[in-house]
Chains A and B, each alone.
Chain A
Amino acid sequence: MKILVQDLHFTYPGNVHAIRGISLEINPGEQVALVGQNGSGKTTLVRHFNGLLKPTSGTVLVGDWDTRHYSVAKLASRVGYVFQNPDEQLFCKTVYDEVGFGPRNLGYPEEKVNALIESALALTELSDRKDVNPYELSPTWRKMVAVASVIAMNTPVIVLDEPTTGQDAVSVQRLAGVIAELRRQGKTVITITHDIDFCAENFERVIALSQGQVLLDGSATQVLGEEEILARTYVEPPQLTRLAKRLGIPRVVRDQDEFLEAYRGLLEARRH
């Protein structure tokens, strides 16, 4: 399912002009990270994809639907949205019911609902916690419940708003696994993140926003190498990208494998 944004503007009541002319296209199955400083318009932009916000001017198409003409409830069948704060979306008595709420609401038959719940629980490693009240879980696991409840809706597009916030190393790893599996399933995953290392390691395309506009849009390698431009939206390149640059490695390094390979190259070059 393609998302097409054309000259989008959005102004909040009180005249805060949060989006100032954004155009972009996200193709089916793409994994996109949205980065940029606090207040750059990331959350405002993605809330247009599921119709929580409607354009002040310009258009947002999700597949062939113009979001202005479709309700949030309707768009929920195409775009799943995981809030930054899981407590804004959890309300059922058990993890199982919570994860089942979305698919049940979309009107799937009970058998399919159960299958969707089980597979979402398995993917997020929640299967053995399904009878627990979400509020008895730690914030880390509540976040996974929020993720599972959106995955269970089986939408072609999934939006994650700051999924790694407050997560420890093990759960960040688990989230990376979830995103990889969604990629295999051909889902579009759009993720807002301040965790630029996580961004570099898990996303092929990066869009940097600044003051309601697109500052950079391209492959992770292109975008994350633009140290000076990224600084304008308060983003620092990933740790290993900076390290490689300081060592004089000419390419943009995204993860540990790439770094070690490039460093070996440097050692070889010294020997000759």
Chain B
Amino acid sequence: MALVNLQNVSYKYPLAEAPALNGITLQVEQGEFLAIIGPNGAGKSTLCYTLAGFIPHFFKGELTGKVEIDGQDLGKSNLNQWVLTVGLAFQNPFSQITGAKLTVYEEIAFGLENIGVPRQEIMERVDSIMALTGVSDLAQRSPYSLSGGQQQRVALASILVMEPKVLVLDEPTSQLDPIGTREVFQVIKKMSARGLTVIMVEHKVEWVAEFADRVVALLDGKMVMEGSPGEVLTSEHLAENGFGLSRYTQVARRAAQQGLWKPDVRLPVTLQEAVDGFRRGLE
């Protein structure tokens, strides 16, 4: 059975007229790297909050349908238990910092301390996760003195150190430079190869194409497409509905309209696909 199982999930924020999620049915297997794309307001962050249990345990409102992760039913479980299974990295890393700790090291250790992990084990886990996420040099800095990009890595480290089964990430690289983005994607990919289930909201589609196993497209709270990155990220339907496509896809689409792209070649998402496709046009 799939590790994450959503059956006909709908949710309406308190006082909202329209549902933020509307009939989402989705299964995610253990170790899968799933990307969620969609324009602002499509319900991506709401879906993250639901997977992480903040909906319905923190945000009230009306949740219907079934959310099951690792055999637990969200409606019947409590948040303390749920957060040990699902870790969430917020869109704004600032929201993640506890404010209770003076150094990055203590910040990352905070969650483990809270659940009573022995001291020696905390130190080992914190050291290893800091190395993995590239924040070892920041250990003694104040979490508030960090740049946005550094805060984003610290936030990721403080979740990974808890060793959740499912990692939910809401645009985890929005404030990172390209190399930092690549490093974070590589860390997440490595964790997913080791069996961590990853569900990531991301606008940077050329990265999604390179790293994700599967892509789900949301629009107005509904799932409008799902499939391999190559299928979803080049679809005409998305292009016409305000989804961001990679520059490679965009330019190849225009080239196709002008007869400069071979009609039997699928539109590209990544650089390599674009190079191959445009080279074929030159043959």
Contacts and interface: CB of A to CB of B under 8 A. Distances in A.
A247 B244 contact: no
A168 B41 CA distance: 10
Nearest to B171: A166
B74 to A, nearest CB: 24
B255 interface: yes
Contact of B251 (A43, A171, A172, A259): A259
Contact of A171 (B40, B91, B147, B175): B40
A194 B150 contact: no
A93 interface: no
Interface residues of B, number: 42
B197 to A, nearest CB: 24
A25 B243 CA distance: 38
A140 B42 CA distance: 12
Contact of A38 (B91, B150, B171, B247): B150
B260 A39 contact: no
A197 interface: yes
A270 B279 CA distance: 12
B176 interface: yes
Contacts of A197: 247
Interface in A223-272: 234-236, 238-240, 242-243, 246-247, 256, 259-260, 263-264, 266-267, 270
Residue of B38, B39, B177 contacting most chain A CB atoms (<10 Å): B177
A256 B250 contact: yes
A177 B157 CA distance: 37
Contacts of B282: 247, 266-267, 270
Contacts of B258: 260
Nearest to A165: B174
Instruction: Say what secondary structure dominates the interface of chain A.
Output: helix
Interface in B226-265: 242-248, 250-251, 254-255, 258, 260
A239 B41 contact: no
Contact of A267 (B145, B271, B281): B281
Q: Point out which of A36, A168, A263 has the most chain B C-beta atoms below 10 A from its C-beta.
A: A168
Classify chain A: how many residues form its interface, as a range.
35 or more
Given A238-B247, A246-B271, A256-B251, A196 B178 contact: yes
B254 A247 contact: no
Given A240-B251, A267-B282, A168 B179 contact: no
A206 B211 CA distance: 30
Interface string B158-197: 0000000000000100111111100000000000000000
Nearest to B243: A169
A39 B150 contact: yes
Nearest to A259: B251
A74 B177 CA distance: 33
A87 B94 CA distance: 10
B138 to A, nearest CB: 10
B92 interface: yes
B250 A263 contact: no
Given A39-B150, A84-B148, A247 B278 contact: yes
A71 interface: no
A138 interface: yes
Given A139-B91, A243-B274, A256 B260 contact: no
Interface string A144-181: 00000000000000000010011111111000000000
Contacts of B244: 168-169, 172
Contact of A243 (B38, B148, B203, B248): B248
A196 B274 CA distance: 18
A33 to B, nearest CB: 14
B275 interface: yes
A137 B248 CA distance: 32
Nearest to A14: B145
A137 to B, nearest CB: 10
Given A37-B177, A139-B40, A239-B206, 20 more contacts: A37-B180, A39-B149, A138-B41, A139-B92, A140-B40, A166-B171, A168-B203, A169-B242, A169-B245, A194-B177, A234-B178, A239-B248, A239-B271, A243-B248, A243-B271, A247-B278, A247-B279, A260-B251, A260-B258, A263-B260
The 6 A-B residue pairs with the shortest CB-CB distance, nearest first, are: A169-B244, A38-B149, A234-B179, A239-B247, A140-B40, A168-B39
8 contacts: A39-B150, A168-B244, A169-B242, A171-B40, A197-B247, A234-B177, A239-B246, A256-B247
